[in-house]
């Protein structure tokens, strides 16, 4: 079957994503060879390769259907995601003190990764259906906030602080782009900043506090708590300009959360810079697509997905280089792990979909609110 939009695939976007996957595979492959760690896996790269194939196939499926068909389905997907997150708390597999995984036969599924996409779709549908007047009132922001907070709360009690916190900037970005007033966003930000110390004191578990403290005041906490981060920084530093063979620094969780340190060590400053460059291209292209499209739903979907991916990149690379606290966030397209990879490719599929369906036309809001002449225009265009 020849894809009808094959000529319209945004090559820089897809290309940079594939380059990032390549980076991840290379890092895992070298990691498997070198064996600075005595992990139990020897074929992480091969597994990751298979997962990339699966994820790419799923992405193509997502691209086949016009993305606007996701709009009516958005609330359904959202409900399914919330139910899955709820069930997770009951039936989920316990790993490292958190219930974040479903064991489905041979694979473990992390619903939080997929829930992110569902939340973006639901938010995009809600926001794109709002009138400009509603958006400009503080009360109008309550519903979108509620949409984001429900799954966020469910992820928070797993407990997975890192993933839950992602929802805040994503919601902010989508409200911002949808056209909420700056004043409201500023007030919300101020309230959250003011609440942060209380959340730190009463809302966090001991280990979570330790991670934050060890990041903010490394000299105040016992050494084993800041160990992971220090080792990661040292590993990065030993990479130098061009990278080096494994220096023997042992970084726990290297192939998943700390894969950035692996890349920085093996490929040096040059390689790591390329890594960031590919992310920059990816985000620039995606946001450019959002700017180009005139359909508010599509635009919001792209902005929401970009916000999620970008936040993960900041936090993940930040923690590997010692400028962000340790969380369990993966590096999109690069980290080892099927759920993460599939979610990233689904997001990529959606963004490419929005890009390839771009047509000079009118936004839904124009049509809904517009003159009958405008309303009839698409029909005329199609007929001609």
Partner 1 sequence: MDRRRVIFFLILVLLPLGGLEARLAYIQLIHPDGYASPARRRSLQFVTAPRGRILDAKGRVLARDERSFDLWLVLAEYEKRPESLAPFAIDDLDAKLEKIYARIETLMNRRPERERWLIYKRERATPYLVHKGLTFEQASEVETHLDRYPGCVVREVPRRTYPYATTGALIVGTLGRVRPEEARRAIEDAAFEDVDEDALRLLVARGALDEELVGRTGVERAAQDRLRGRPGLIIGERDPATGEQSWVELVPPRPGEDVELTVDIEFQKEVEAIVASMQTRTTAVVIHPQTGEVRALANDRSFDPNHFVPPTDVASLRAYLDPDGPQPLLNRATHGAFPFGSIFKIVSSVAALEEGKATPGRLIECRGQFLAGSNHTRCWTVKKQLPPHGPLTVAGALERSCNCYFYQVGQELGVETLSRWAEAFGVGVKSGIELGDVAGQLPRSGRRTTDSDARFLAIGQAELTVTPVQVSRLISVVANGGVRVTPHVVRGNGSNEPLPIRKETLAAVREGLHAVTHGEHGTAHTSGLATYDVSGKTSSAQTGRDPVTGEDRESHAWFAGYTKDVAVVVLVEFGGGGGLAAAPVAAKILEKLK
* Chain contacts with partner 1 (rule: CB under 8 A): 33-36, 173, 176-177, 179, 223-224, 227, 233-234, 236-241, 245-246, 248-250, 264, 268-269, 272-273, 276, 279-280, 283-284, 287-288, 290-291, 296, 299, 303, 306-307, 310, 313-314, 317-318, 321-323
CB of 273 to partner 1, least distance (A): 6
Closest distance to partner 1 from the beta carbon of 233 (Å) = 5
CB of 174 to partner 1, least distance (A): 10
Shortest distance, CB of residue 8 to partner 1, whole angstroms?
A: 20
Compute the distance between CA of residue 356 and CA of residue 305 in angstroms, rounded to an integer: 17
What gap in Å lies between CA 303 and CA 369, rounded to an integer?
24
Residue 104 in tokens: 């489905």
> Cβ closer to partner 1: 3 or 292?
292
CB of 135 to partner 1, least distance (A): 11
Determine the angle formed by the axes of helices 338-356 and 259-292, rounding to 10 degrees: 20
Closest to partner 1 by CB, 108 vs 246, is 246
Shorter beta-carbon distance to partner 1: residue 71 or 299: 299
Q: Which is nearer to partner 1, 182 or 383 (CB)?
A: 182
Tokens coding 315: 């936090």
- Smallest gap, in angstroms, from Cβ of residue 246 to partner 1? 7
- Nearest approach, Cβ of residue 70 and partner 1 (Å): 20
- Least Å distance, CB 299 to partner 1, is 7
Q: How far is the CB of 51 from partner 1 (least distance, A)?
A: 26
For partner 1, which is the closer residue by CB, 206 or 224? 224
Q: Can you say whether the dihedral through the CA atoms of 324, 329, 330, 332 is positive or negative? A: negative
Contact 121, 70 (CB under 8 A): yes
Q: CB-wise, 113 or 266, nearer to partner 1?
A: 266
CB of 260 to partner 1, least distance (A): 9
Close Cβ partners of 102 (under 8 Å, ≥ 6 residues apart): 84, 87, 88, 91, 92, 93, 108, 109, 110, 111
Of residues 205 and 223, the one with the C-beta less far from partner 1: 223
Distance, CA of 72 to CA of 61 (rounded, Å): 18
CB closer to partner 1, 226 vs 353: 226
Q: Which is nearer to partner 1, 215 or 249 (CB)?
A: 249
Query: Which C-beta is closer to partner 1: that of 88 or that of 309?
Result: 309
């Amino acid at each position: 079957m020849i894809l009808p939009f094959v000529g319209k695939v945004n090559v820089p976007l897809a290309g940079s994503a594939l380059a990032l996957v390549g980076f991840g595979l290379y890092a895992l492959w070298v990691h498997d060879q070198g064996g600075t760690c005595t992990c139990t896996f020897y074929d992480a790269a091969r597994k990751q390769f298979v997962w990339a194939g699966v994820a790419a196939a799923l992405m193509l499926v997502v691209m086949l259907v016009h993305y606007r068909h996701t709009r009516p389905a958005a609330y359904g997907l959202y409900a399914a995601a919330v139910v899955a997150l709820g069930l997770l708390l009951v039936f989920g597999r316990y790993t490292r003190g958190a219930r974040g995984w479903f064991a489905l036969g041979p694979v473990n599924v992390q619903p939080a990764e997929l829930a992110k996409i569902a939340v973006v779709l639901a938010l995009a549908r809600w926001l794109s259906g709002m009138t400009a007047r509603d958006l400009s009132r503080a009360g109008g922001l309550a519903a979108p906030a509620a949409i984001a907070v429900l799954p966020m709360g469910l992820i928070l009690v797993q407990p997975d602080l890192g993933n839950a916190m992602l929802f805040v900037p994503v919601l902010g970005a989508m409200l911002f782009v949808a056209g909420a007033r700056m004043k409201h966003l500023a007030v919300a930000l101020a309230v959250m900043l003011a609440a942060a110390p209380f959340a730190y004191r009463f809302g966090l578990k001991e280990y979570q506090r330790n991670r934050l403290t060890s990041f903010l005041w490394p000299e105040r906490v016992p050494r084993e708590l800041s160990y992971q981060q220090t080792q990661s920084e040292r590993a990065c530093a030993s990479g130098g300009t061009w990278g080096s063979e494994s220096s023997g620094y042992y970084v726990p969780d290297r192939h998943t959360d700390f894969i950035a340190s692996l890349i920085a060590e093996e490929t040096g400053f040059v390689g790591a810079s390329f890594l960031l460059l590919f992310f920059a291209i990816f985000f620039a292209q995606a946001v450019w697509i959002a700017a180009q499209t005139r359909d508010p739903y599509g635009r919001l979907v792209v902005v929401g997905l970009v916000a999620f991916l970008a936040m993960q990149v900041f936090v993940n690379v930040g923690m590997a280089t010692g400028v962000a606290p340790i969380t369990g966030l993966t590096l999109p397209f690069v980290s080892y792990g099927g759920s993460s990879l599939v979610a990233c490719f689904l997001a990529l599929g959606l963004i490419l979909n929005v890009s390839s369906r771009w047509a000079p036309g009118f936004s839904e809001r124009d049509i809904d609110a517009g003159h009958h002449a405008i309303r009839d225009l698409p029909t005329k265009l199609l007929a001609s």
